[in-house]
Amino acid sequence: MSKEYKIGLLGFGSMGKTHLFSATSLPFYYSGCGFEGKYVSVCTSRIESAEKAKEQFGFLYATDNEDDIINDPDIDIIDICTPNIYHFESAKKAIAAGKHVLCEKPLAINVAQADELDRLSAKAYEKNGQVCGMVFNNRHLSAVKRAKLLIDGGRLGRILSFDFKYLHNSCIDPERTPGWKQDADVCGAGTLFDLGAHVVDLCRYLCGDFYSVYSKEQIAFPEHRLPDGGVWKTNADEAAYMIATLRCGAMGTISVGKINIGENDGLTFSIYGTEGAIKFDLMEPDWLYFYDSHAESGSYGGSRGFTKIECVGRYEAPGGSFPSPKAPNGWLRGHIGSMYAFLNAINCGEQASPSFKDGAEVQKVLDAARLSHIEGKEIIIE
C-alpha cells in the first residue's frame, strides 16, 4: 500500500492549481513509486474563493486563515503558493509546526529572510527529518536532465560562457491591469524575482555557483491604466539584464523580460565549453542540441555540428512509462517531476533537491542584481 502524505495548500492561483494537478497525476507518471500526495485543505485570502475551490476540486475543508492548516495535526506538508511577500512567515510557521514544506520561488524577498529559512530548515531536517523543498520546476524537464548529465560527465569540458534568457510579453500593453507580480510591495521585485529566479537557478544548477553580477533593470511602461480609470505608477522592474561571473571562471549573460512582443514562455539557454556546447528552448522542450568537438570532421563538415537529441519522455524509472517514452513533453511535465522529487525525498528520508539552501543561494544572486542596478557597479556575491 502506498504511503499517503496529506498536503495543505496555501494559495490557489495558477501555481496552486498546477501543484494540485501535479500531485493528482503522479500515479500515472510514476507508477509503483510507493507514495502519493493528497491535497486535503486549501487557504485563500477570501473564504468565498476557498469554498469554491473546495467544491470544484474536492478539498476536505477550506479556510481564509492559514494557521488552520499549518496547525492541523493531520497535515504532513504545507505547500506555499502565495505571493512572494508571504513566503517567509508561512514557511517559518510551518517549520515550527513540524511540517514538511514545499515553497514556490522565490524563497523570500531578501537574503536575510532566505538565510533564516535555510538555517531553520537545515536544523529541522537534522532534528526531525523535516524536508523543505523549492519548486524550480525547469530542473525536471527531460532535456535539462540530459544537459546536466552531459555537463557532469565532462562532455562540455571546462565551461567558458553561457547565455540564459526568459522572455514573456505580458507587460507590453499599458491598458492591461497589473497583477501582484508587478507590485513591488507584494512581489519584492518584478520580473527579476519572477522569471529571474528560474534562470538563475538553472544557471547555477548547470554551470556552478555565482561569483559576481552586474545588472541593469528596465521599466518600459511607467504607467498602466486601471479599470476604474485611474493610473498605476509602475514600481517593479519589467526587465533585467545581467552580466555574471561564476566561481569556475565562466562568464555570460542572463536576460529576463516581460516586454518582449512575440514571446510566450521563452526560456532558452546556451552553454559553451572547451569540448562542447548545448542549447535548449522551452518552446521545444523535447529536444536538446549538443555539439561535440570530438566528432569527426571532413568534407562538407563530416559529422560535426549540433546534434538534436530526442529527450522527449525518456525519464529514468519509475518515470517515463506514461504516456510513452516516445511521447512529447510539455510545461506541466517539469512540475510533475518536481512534485515527485519532493515527495520522494520525504519518503526516502532525504533532503530535498532543490532545497531551501538552493532557494537561499538564488536569493543572494537576485539581491546582488538589485543592488548592482541601484549602485551601478558589479557586486561580489559572498
Q: What is the pTM of this model?
A: 0.94
User: Averaged over 360-367, what is the pLDDT?
Assistant: 98
Model confidence over 341-362: pLDDT tens digits? 999 999 999 999 999 999 999 9
* Beta strands at 251-257 and 239-246: parallel, antiparallel or unpaired: antiparallel
User: pLDDT at position 1, please?
Assistant: 65
Whether the Cβ atoms of residue 225 and residue 174 lie closer than 8 Å to each other:
yes
User: Averaged over 57-81, what is the pLDDT?
Assistant: 98
Q: Band of the pLDDT at 43, cuts 50, 70, 90? A: very high
Cell of 41: 485543505
Exposed, middle or buried: residue 17 (CB in 10 Å: 0-12, 13-18, 19+)?
A: middle
User: Averaged over 156-184, what is the pLDDT?
Assistant: 91
Distance CA 201, CA 362 (A): 6
Burial 278-289, CB ≥16 within 10 A → b, else e: bbbbbeebbbbb
> Between 187 and 46, where is the model more confident?
46
User: Averaged over 81-86, what is the pLDDT?
Assistant: 96
Closest CA to 362 of 206, 223, 211, 200: 200
Q: Band of the pLDDT at 204, cuts 50, 70, 90? A: very high
> Between 356 and 180, where is the model more confident?
356
For residue 296, CA distances in Å to 190, 279, 292 come to 47, 20, 9
From its phi and psi, is residue 67 left (phi > 0), alpha (psi between -120 and 50) or beta?
A: alpha
Model confidence over 258-284: pLDDT tens digits? 999 999 999 999 999 999 999 999 999
